[in-house]
Amino acid sequence: MRILHINYSDSKGGAATSVRRLHASFLKNNYDSWLFVTHKFLSEKNVITFDNFFDKIKNFLKRISSKIFCKFFKIFNNNIDYSIAYFSSNTKKYINQIQPSVVNLHWICNETLSIEELPKIKKPLVWTILDMWPFLGAQHIDLDQVYKKYWNNKNYKDNFFFDVNSWVFSRKLNSFNFDFELIAISNWLANKAKESLLFKNKTISVIPCLLDFDQWSPLEKKQARKILNLNLNKKFILFSSAAGSSDKKKGFNYLVKILKNCKNLKDFHLIFIGNLNLKDLEGINISYSQYNNFFFGDPNILKIIYSCADLIIMPSIVEAFGQVALEGAACNVPTLAFSSTGIEEILKHKINGYLADYLNFEDLTYGFNWSLNDVNNKFISNNCRSMAFEKFSDKLIISKYNNIYKKLI
């Protein structure tokens, strides 16, 4: 059985990290796995991209054109990313070259594939959905249940002259009438998909993201902090956002509010992974360390950073899964987060983390203090790695994928 995964990138973003780990685990377990990407950064086994200059240039121009178009609509809603998946690509040529037994789509935006090309893939097809785009219009997340508005209200428009969401949604409605298998990375995402007009009649399997626990292992906290030249006596809280502290859906503003109400900030140290905008920390006298997210999910670097932390803070408003919480758990670091998101796939309340009531700041603050209490922190930390291994080990996850592939073939 030859498996072909298709994703926009091999390294940029959480989706790329998830796909790369899945592909690597298939290879590790002696599967004939391939990964095709339109934007390749790394040199890894069986990862391919366009093999000629003209294909690369054409894809680049299509991607830029699409981004310019979508950028215009972001003026009206800065919190939403758009993708139109409009331009045809040369991806089908590379599918034919590899001749896979099964094709597994992942994050296919940035003009990796057009919506209209999907029915033309004449191979058993699996689609692992990693965000809400597959069942929305052009947008990747939905904060206001817009996706229900634009099929229930013909007069609804997301801006004053052209409804980009309805245009993309109608194209999906016309194209997604063929057989393919759907996998969601969390029950939360699967339930959202089942509410949609596009996938309400589809069977959706839930298979979460995985980790190779041979690569991910904790360091002793003092050792990790010495490696990074950090103060050994403070309590360390960790926040990670690839899009930076200004990404509102990640909820950094909730952490800022907690810190502003904290009377003993000198006892804390903030570890930030990603682009920290210092304006977002204005008026907060806390020591911090920033690590730019350039290491593409590399466990050799990240497990040192995670092992320094006493608690990960993830007050995301929308979160399809929460790989940061899983990576932290592998290093015995618990997470504080809101319930009613995909992070519930990873956390059990007061067992390996704390799940505050959704958008309830008072409960989040209580969870912050509860989780950093020495006795509570030791208890939930001790449960993290073992609970994560039981649910997210690479062998377990790829066996679930293999069962679906075999059924289709």
Are the C-beta atoms of 102 and 17 separated by less than 8 Å? Answer: no
Residue 362 lies in a domain: yes
Residue 291 lies in a domain: yes
Residue 216 lies in a domain: no
- Are residues 258 and 375 part of one domain? yes
- Are residues 376 and 402 part of one domain? no
pLDDT band at 156 (very low <50, low <70, confident <90, very high): very low
pLDDT, position 312: 98
Q: pLDDT tens digits for 319-337?
A: 999 999 999 999 999 999 9
Among the ranges given (64-78, 178-192, 234-248), the one the predictor scored with the smallest mean pLDDT: 64-78
- Are residues 245 and 199 part of one domain? no
- Are residues 259 and 195 part of one domain? no
Angle between helices 374-392 and 394-408 (to 10 degrees): 30
pLDDT band at 158 (very low <50, low <70, confident <90, very high): low
Are the C-beta atoms of 19 and 107 separated by less than 8 Å? Answer: yes
- Are residues 85 and 230 part of one domain? no
pLDDT, position 194: 93
- Are residues 104 and 228 part of one domain? no
- Are residues 404 and 270 part of one domain? no
Range of the domain at 74: 2-210+394-408
Residue with tokens 């099929």, as numbered in its chain: 151
On the question of pLDDT at 75 being above 80, the answer is no
CATH number of the domain encompassing residue 383: 3.40.50.2000
Average pLDDT, stretch 55-59? 86
Residue 215 lies in a domain: no
On the question of pLDDT at 233 being above 90, the answer is no
On the question of pLDDT at 128 being above 60, the answer is yes
- Are residues 334 and 312 part of one domain? yes
**5-33 b/e (C-beta count within 10 Å ≥ 16 → b):** bbbbbbbbbbbbbbbbbbbbbbbeeebeb
Q: pLDDT tens digits for 364-404?
A: 999 999 999 999 999 999 999 999 999 999 999 999 999 99
Q: Which one has a higher pLDDT value, 128 or 232? A: 128
User: H/E element holding 335?
Assistant: strand 335-338
- Are residues 399 and 387 part of one domain? no
pLDDT band at 278 (very low <50, low <70, confident <90, very high): confident
Residue 191 lies in a domain: yes
pLDDT, position 341: 94
pLDDT band at 3 (very low <50, low <70, confident <90, very high): very high
Helices vs strands, H then E, count in the chain? 13, 13
Residue 172 lies in a domain: yes
- Are residues 133 and 19 part of one domain? yes
- Are residues 346 and 291 part of one domain? yes
The token pair that represents 253 in the structure block: 């503003």
Residue 44 lies in a domain: yes
Among the ranges given (17-31, 55-69, 103-117, 137-151), the one the predictor scored with the smallest mean pLDDT: 137-151
Domain count within the chain: 2
Average pLDDT, stretch 201-217? 95
On the question of pLDDT at 235 being above 60, the answer is yes
Residue 169 lies in a domain: yes
Average pLDDT, stretch 263-281? 89
- Are residues 42 and 183 part of one domain? yes
Are the C-beta atoms of 197 and 173 separated by less than 8 Å? Answer: yes
pLDDT, position 326: 97
Task: Report the C-alpha gap between 145 and 164 in whole angstroms.
Answer: 16
